[in-house]
Structure 1
Amino acid sequence: MRGGAPVLLWRAALVATLLCGVGLLPWLSRTDPALTVLKARSAERAPTPEVLDAIRAQLGLDAGPSRLLGDWFGGLLHGDAGRSWISGAEVTPSVLQALGVSLLLMGGSLAVAVLTAGVVCARTLRLGAGHRTPRIAVGRGTRRFAVGRRLDGRRSAGTGSALLSTLPDFLTASVLAAVVGVQLGWLPALGWYGPQWMVLPALSLGLPAGALLGRMLDDLLPGAFAEQWALAAAARGVPGRSIARQALRRCVPGLLPNFGLFVVGLTGGAVAVEQVFDIPGLGRLTLQAAVAQDLPVLQAGTLALVLLAAVAGGLTRLTARLLIGPALRDGALSSLHRPTPSRPTTLPLLYGGLLLAVVALGLARDPLRLDTTARLQSPSWAHPFGTDGLGRDVLARVGHGALSTLALALAVSAAALVLGVLLGLLPRFSGPLVDTVNAVPPVLAALLVTGVAGSGPSTPALAVTAVAWAPLAAHTSALLQQERATTHLTATRGLGAGPFQLLRRELLPAVLPPVVRHALLRLPGVALALAALGFLGLGAQPPSPEWGLLLSENQPYAERAPWAVLAPATALALLGAVAVTGGGGVRWPGLRHVRRRGADGIETAPRRGVRAEDRESAGVDLVSVGTREAGLTGSADTAAEPARKRDA
């Protein structure tokens, strides 16, 4: 698949398969579509055979699913998406109206996400902008730039961003609606009537997404500031703000695929937030159509999400080409992912110890004991985390729910990581697949998996795995594309390295660690998605003490008894803090940062698969390449002149 035509055919086949799967959902779920439509229209009406036969004749169900799919595809050619099976109204106007609402909400959420990401990585940008090369040595025909320690030894983005990125959006929406909208009355909490009604939903969606994007960007920035063009620019006296802007330009292309995934996710995956704030968006419309098996609305909503995913993916790829296209074509990049020393930190042990203490204390209590006289009691010595709406001890339920929640979440995250990396190594195959899978909301994916595999304890795991690999595959493909265009890879290939050696010694050591850290960032979200699907009846059922189920059960009492919601939310946040702080030290096995000093006291580059001296002998002038990449004029000798004067 090297040409554009095969990729387009592959993308069209995937979209057609998805739409056919959605169209066959009523039959895959092994339910009578006529009975489901009758319950959605009038729950009081008796489902007699005569009534069901009349509905089948009205909707054309007697002709079978193949005829329905053919008629629907034929209507699309004339711009007609059919009529709703429930309301009888035309589908196209309602879907377009819901899409407009979702796009407006998505725009506000992206603005919040971009601002949040800027706040998360502000410290790294400030350090990089103030970074100056302390000394430059020129001798024996080689030029080596000393790498400053301010960014190498810095700590990653704060724990607050880790906690923020792990918060479930519906919990954030519930807290903002109850506190800011109801108690304080600063902003409206329900409805969709103007710009003021968009603020709280945009904050609920944008804050976690921005925190996640900010941490991914913060992971790339130190490598950009340590590149030769940045060091040469600093030695030449280029303002720090200009270097910071170029560093952002250098790092953003690696995140653009995930940014495109966020665009679609904030549109079709904002179901919970739209439910909390009563927003008539596309995600909520699609979910309601899926539950009621309103096939025309469900297919039209899914098609709108697929088209949005295709447009977002195309725009992100075009933007990446505009930002670093010439460097990708000429192979004039340097790797952003070099082994750097990391300061030992006790934060993972601290957060992990707190989480283990909570679990251990909870396991010593009975999670199913009911006490109707102790309903919604505040925290006390008898109940450190309070009680829920049935008088059950919240600490006991959090402790007992940790075992199943964490074990299943780790298994699903590991499977998604393996799938994401393997498929990300085949970008032409996985690119259209990522766009198509990302267009499916998780709840709809769960319904499709349930229809094929049936309902059971494994259904949530299969459904979440089916969509959780897509962001990791997009991240892998983006980093792999840039890594293949690096100068050191060109030199290594020129020294006779084969494809397997390049993959094992150069590509995987650079790509896999940041993708693993990305997977760890998403671990709490995976745990929440698993339990939330169980609450929807697609897996574990009450009285199971899964953490997401605890959040859903206690959400109606968030205003009266906030401790019942904050306890499982805090457990999820601690899980995220452990994953993020512990993932900061993820490195490729055997890849060490070697501090070697020459006679002049200047540190040389870290050791990779091929020695730095061998790359220099292959004729790769990293400084001149980096200077051209930054858009600077003059030679490396000119860039080094200010430092020579300072040394003199």
Structure 2
Amino acid sequence: MRYLAGRLGTLLAVVAVVGLLPRLTRTDPALTILHARYADRPPTPETLDAIRAGTGLDGGPLSVLGGWLGGLLRGDLGTSWVSGQPVAPDVTSALGVSLTLMGASLAVAVLLAGALVAGTLRRGARRRITAARAGAVAAVLAALPEFLLAAVLAAVVAVRLGWLPALGWGTPEQIVLPALAMGVPAGALLGRLLDDALPAAFAEPWARAATAGGLPGRRVAGHALRRTLPGLLPQLGLVVVGLTGGAVAVETLYAVPGLGGTALAAALAQDLPVLQACVLFLLLLGVAAGLATRLAARALLGPALRDGALPAPVAPPLPARRPLVAGAVVLALLFAAVTAAGLLRDPDRVDAALRLAGPSAAHPFGTDSLGRDVLARLGHGAARTVLTAVAVCAVTLLLGLVLGALRAGPLTETANALPAILAGLIVAGIAGPGPWGAAAAVTAVAWAPLAAHTSALYAQERAAPHLAAARALGAGRWHLARRHLLPAVLPPVLRHAVLRVPAVALALASLGFLGLGTPAPAPEWGRMLSENMPYAERAPWSVLAPAAALAALGALAVLTTAALRGRAARDRKAAP
């Protein structure tokens, strides 16, 4: 009951903010309605006052909020400012489409995650595991922009090969390509996190005892999987909501009438009643997903939380660090060299005679649709995209650790119910598009996965018997936090934060792709993809360069975290 009461209180607070969106926007709602419905009428004060009176916008903030909440209690989601039709039928239909697409995408994600960790499970069951195996493959797949993967699948599978339809919704064949575009990055992220946690489970005493006692390797692998799932189930809940509300670009490219596309159209048209309804449904979905994953985690842990029977995490076997460090250094140097070479060039110089020119000595990465050097724009865009992503991740790491330790579950689930793209739409509707608004929107929601991970690890560590023993010996809260909780929680969350750098960069690129980030003509990876996507078949280098940069950033993140993990394991092994 306390859990539900906390979620309900946070949900009501956010719903109140959503209800006040007409008062938070920079534009006059009456002017928006006038332009949408009566384009031929002049915006006289009398006309605007009449529109406000007819739509209930003539009162103060409390009056507007009360009217919206009263409509919700009657099942009325309001009337569209643009079409003048009730919002509920269209938004409910869009929710059904998004839930169907989410289910198919989640199936793809689970299957891919299982395939990525299959090798780790086999090696762990045979006691031959040395480190996580998914590594760079999962990082590259997770760093693929969903909109780029969707465009490539549509161009190759639908247009070139003609195997599946490229647009529309309503038949099973039309679900496949959008589900693959959304499910592959999500499955790569889940597989990478699970693969990162399995070596520690296989290194615990119970696994060694079970193997020595003759327990079949398949059963040992099954128990190791169950041991690691409770700490990762919150991430699955976050993925569920992200697949529903974060599919804006994919739904737009495939003409899928889902909730994300509906929210994008409403935000761009300033149709706030439709946007309010979309956000409300996403919030409810986030609460439902959080409750389901919490119940599933408690069922998997069983009596361990009550009896203190859960073993403490054990350091995984030491991986071979030199190849990891060498790979990270080589990739970092290559990344830095490309960025430095681009920074030495002019990113805004236009040469119409060299539009969409191929790679050459003068332009190693070719030129874009305006004749601008792709290498120059890639290098200058790295300074914007990567540095902003690193700064956002640093802030979200601090927020995640603090709010996760405070067990701010309701706030975490509510923040996750607003994917970065949708948060960007809301921020753009209030403050207008721009780089600071995009960074603020991503920061406002990107801390939620880290907080959920921190909270899960914190609960898991508190159930360990060595913590009860330390309390019995008179250890205080500061000692427990400094010597037990922080060393167990901080390293995996820090690795998770580093792994989130490509995801944050991808979120910033997605906002730039939708025109909500850095305005033109400033170079930014998402805007590069958006500007050159129509020419992908004729000039693939203009799209492959920023896409490869995002993928390389993901590989660099996973190599760096693996090297840090190996160093930590070596230090713990060398400690007396």
Q: Does 1:222 align with 2:202?
A: no
**Contact 1:84-1:297 at 8 Å conserved across structures:** yes
Q: Secondary structure at the match of 2:162?
A: coil
Alignment counterpart, residue 302 of structure 2, candidates 322, 325, 331: 325
**Contact 2:132-2:198 at 8 Å conserved across structures:** no
Alignment of 1:256-405 (within 5 A): 256-338=233-315, 340-344=317-321, 345=323, 346-405=326-385
Q: Secondary structure at the match of 1:479?
A: helix
Alignment of 1:24-423 (within 5 A): 24-41=20-37, 46-49=42-45, 51-131=47-127, 150-151=128-129, 153-154=130-131, 156-338=133-315, 340-344=317-321, 345=323, 346-423=326-403
Alignment of 1:526-565 (within 5 A): 526-534=504-512, 536=514, 538-565=516-543
Q: CA deviation at 1:455?
A: 5.9
Q: Does 1:509 align with 2:500?
A: no
Q: Does 1:577 align with 2:534?
A: no
Closer/same/farther in 2, CA of residues 534 and 355 from structure 1, 3 Å limit:
same
Percent of aligned pairs sharing the same letter: 61
Deviation string, structure 1 residues 599-646 (Cα, Å, up to 9, x no partner): xxxxxxx85xxx8xxxxxxxxxxxxxxxxxxxxxxxxxxxxxxxxxxx
Q: Considering only CA atoms, is the larger Rg found in Structure 1 or Structure 2?
A: 1
Aligned amino acid, residue 332 of structure 1: A
Q: CA deviation at 1:18?
A: 1.9
Q: Which runs of 5+ in 2 are unaligned?
A: none
CA distance in 2, matches of 1:237, 1:64: 73
Q: CA deviation at 1:34?
A: 1.6
CA distance in 2, matches of 1:46, 1:166: 49
Closer/same/farther in 2, CA of residues 226 and 443 from structure 1, 3 Å limit:
closer
CA distance in 2, matches of 1:183, 1:39: 42
Q: CA deviation at 1:204?
A: 0.6
Please provide the CA RMSD for this pair. Answer: 2.2
The equivalent residue for 2:456 is: 478
Deviation string, structure 1 residues 309-346 (Cα, Å, up to 9, x no partner): 11111110111111112112111112335264231221
Q: CA deviation at 1:297?
A: 2.1
CA distance in 2, matches of 1:212, 1:277: 23
Closer/same/farther in 2, CA of residues 43 and 212 from structure 1, 3 Å limit:
farther
**How many residue pairs align between the two structures?**
573
Closer/same/farther in 2, CA of residues 40 and 338 from structure 1, 3 Å limit:
farther
Alignment of 1:455-466 (within 5 A): 457-466=435-444
The equivalent residue for 1:620 is: none
The equivalent residue for 2:404 is: 424
Q: CA deviation at 1:589?
A: 9.5
CA distance in 2, matches of 1:276, 1:562: 18
Closer/same/farther in 2, CA of residues 317 and 368 from structure 1, 3 Å limit:
same
**Contact 1:337-1:510 at 8 Å conserved across structures:** no
Deviation string, structure 1 residues 334-360 (Cα, Å, up to 9, x no partner): 233526423122110121122112112
CA distance in 1, matches of 2:266, 2:61: 17
Deviation string, structure 1 residues 522-549 (Cα, Å, up to 9, x no partner): 1122123234435655552111111122
CA distance in 2, matches of 1:583, 1:255: 18
Deviation string, structure 1 residues 542-597 (Cα, Å, up to 9, x no partner): 111111221121122222222111101111111111111011133599875565xx
Q: CA deviation at 1:470?
A: 0.4
Alignment counterpart, residue 413 of structure 2, candidates 435, 438, 453: 435
Q: CA deviation at 1:381?
A: 2.4
Judging by fraction of residues, say which structure has more helix.
2
**Contact 1:339-1:592 at 8 Å conserved across structures:** no
Closer/same/farther in 2, CA of residues 535 and 177 from structure 1, 3 Å limit:
closer
Closer/same/farther in 2, CA of residues 432 and 462 from structure 1, 3 Å limit:
same
TM-score norm. by structure 2 comes to: 0.94
Closer/same/farther in 2, CA of residues 347 and 44 from structure 1, 3 Å limit:
farther
Q: CA deviation at 1:374?
A: 1.1
**Contact 2:364-2:375 at 8 Å conserved across structures:** yes
TM-score norm. by structure 1 comes to: 0.84
Q: Secondary structure at the match of 2:223?
A: helix
CA distance in 1, matches of 2:529, 2:409: 35
**Contact 1:109-1:206 at 8 Å conserved across structures:** yes
CA distance in 1, matches of 2:342, 2:434: 27
Q: Does 1:23 align with 2:19?
A: yes
Q: CA deviation at 1:296?
A: 2.7
Closer/same/farther in 2, CA of residues 337 and 277 from structure 1, 3 Å limit:
farther
Aligned amino acid, residue 308 of structure 1: L
Closer/same/farther in 2, CA of residues 199 and 476 from structure 1, 3 Å limit:
same
CA distance in 2, matches of 1:175, 1:231: 46
Q: CA deviation at 1:447?
A: 4.5
Q: Does 1:13 align with 2:9?
A: yes
Q: Secondary structure at the match of 2:521?
A: coil
CA distance in 2, matches of 1:537, 1:247: 45
Q: CA deviation at 1:154?
A: 3.2
Q: Which runs of 5+ in 1 are unaligned?
A: 132-149, 596-605, 612-648
Deviation string, structure 1 residues 406-459 (Cα, Å, up to 9, x no partner): 2211111100011001110011xx100011111123234235445666765422
CA distance in 1, matches of 2:255, 2:513: 20
